[in-house]
Amino acid sequence: MKILVPVKRVIDYNVKVRVKSDQSGVDLANVKMSMNPFDEIAVEQAVRLKESGTAQEIIAVSIGPEKAQDQIRQALAMGADRGVLIKTDQEVEPLAVAKLLQKIIEEEKPDLVILGKQAIDDDCNQTGQMLAALLGWGQGTFISKVELAGDKVTATREIDGGLQVVAVPLPAILTVDLRLNEPRYASLPNIMKAKKKPLDVKDIADFGVDVAPRLEVLKVTEPPKREAGVKVETVAELVDKLKNEAGVL
């Protein structure tokens, strides 16, 4: 079995995001970038499937600038076998990402595609679903548990108020949730080995995909600052404030 795992370069989740002064977007200057946390979970799951003998090869794919090789190398250090970077310096929207991944999948012919349910920079939660539609493959989204048996994958989905178990024939698309696993830290020897693993860099223009943006960002603003709380002396005072000031009673 061959598994393909798309990984995205995003602002590290520990970094406090700053909005540009003109509100045109987020300031990326001198900001630490990392692999999207949901994609890390996807890589970990692919590696576990390989370690169990279910999968034989893992390919990590990223679409982004030259520096996105760092995130591919991280996936390689975690256990992926080789990487592919589709190089572009422009912002690529989910539909264009799905079309580019479709081209890679047609070349590589993987049996399973595992990716994060969403990226923490745009929170779109669209790429996996669009990719499944373009390929005509079955899909399982918000996955918290995966079992492979024969020519189908059984996946447990996180839904409102509970869990749903679905069986999807291979080839298939899975988008993963936080509770699926805990990604490993890449050891120093594996980081060194990752530097020697193959990583192909392709130009986005070679794929013949229209990546022109369909959306225009009008304005980006920071959330309003939370007001300080107040202490009350009695329950009666609390009820009075909830009723007359907060208006929730």
CATH number at residue 171: 3.40.50.620
Strand-pairing partners, residue 174, are: 114, 140
Instruction: Say how many C-beta atoms besides its own lie within 10 A of residue 107's C-beta.
Output: 11
Tell me what pLDDT residue 147 has: 92
Tell me what pLDDT residue 24 has: 84
Which pTM value belongs to this model?
A: 0.86
CA dist 72 and 59 (Å) reads 9
With tokens 């390929």, the residue in question is 135
Q: Is 98 left (phi over 0), alpha (psi -120 to 50) or beta?
A: alpha
With tokens 């990583």, the residue in question is 199
Tell me what pLDDT residue 201 has: 95
Provide the residue range defining the domain that includes 57.
2-244
Q: What angle do CA 177, 158, 10 make, to 5 degrees?
A: 25
SS3 159: strand
In a domain, 211, yes or no: yes
In a domain, 249, yes or no: no
Q: Decide the pairing of beta strands 172-176 and 112-116.
A: parallel
Tell me what pLDDT residue 17 has: 86
Strand-pairing partners, residue 64, are: 87
How many separate domains does the chain show? Answer: 1
In a domain, 28, yes or no: yes
* Residue segments in the chain with a per-residue pLDDT below the cut of 50: none
In a domain, 104, yes or no: yes
